[in-house]
Structure 1
């Protein structure tokens, strides 16, 4: 069941927000501690990224302000996993994101971001 109350998943939401922060994204050890060993991502471009590719790419990013987020939803899939979705409000466009988190840790197992076209209702 989808729910918007983050209280049960506060550590997961905090970790997800940390991964949007330049301070964390540039810290290889911190990023590695948040990504599961078999982490994968499908980026907004459609490219599939491995854990090692993601860690390396984030390390080389230019610093930026953390984006605003909204529309957080949580769906407990099992005792171990929660599916998280939210919206990122970017400078040029908004995007929707989904992440599969191991609750205990927490560690992210999978992430996908999808650009919201500006010519369509969101």
Structure 2
């Protein structure tokens, strides 16, 4: 069942927001804490990334502001898994994101970002 943000979901939302910040994206130790060893991502471009590829690409990323987020929803899909969806708005670009978080931790297992055309 999909739910809005509750106290149960705050650590997951906070971890997701941390991953959007340049300070965490450039911190290999923090990324190792947040990303599962078998982490996978399908980026906005459609490319599939593994953990090592993402960590390497983030190291070279230019610093940027944390984007605006909205429309957070959470769905416990297993005893220790929560599926999260939300929207990012950065300038005139909008994208919808989904993440699969393992709890406790939380530890990110999978992430996908999809551009929303016309926004």
The TM-score normalised by the length of structure 2 is 0.97
CA distance, structure 2, for counterparts of residue 55 and residue 75 of structure 1: 27
Name 2:111's counterpart in structure 1: 111
The answer to whether structure 1 residue 29 and structure 2 residue 29 are counterparts is yes
Aligned length: 119
User: Could you list the runs of 5+ residues in structure 2 that have no partner in the other structure?
Assistant: none
What do residues 62-107 of structure 1 show as CA deviations (whole Å, max 9, x unaligned)? 0000001000000001110000000001123100000000021110
Aligned counterpart, 2:90? 90
Q: Distance in 1 between matches of 2:103 and 2:17?
A: 15
The residue number in structure 2 matching 1:71 is: 71
Query: SS in structure 1 opposite 2:69?
Result: strand
How far did 1:59 drift?
A: 1.0
How many angstroms apart in 2 are the aligned matches of 1:39 and 1:19?
13
Contact 1:87–1:97, Cα closer than 8 Å, also in 2: yes
What's the C-alpha RMSD, in Å, of the aligned pairs? 1.0
Q: Which residue of 2 aligns with 1:2?
A: 2
The structure that is strand-richer by fraction is 2
Structure 1: 5+ residue stretches without partners: none
Runs of 4+ in 1 over 2 A off after TM superposition: none
| Conserved 8 A contact 1:6-1:13 | no
Partners of 1:27 and 1:80 lie apart in 2 by 26
Alpha-carbon distance in structure 2 between the residues aligned to 1:5 and 1:47 = 29
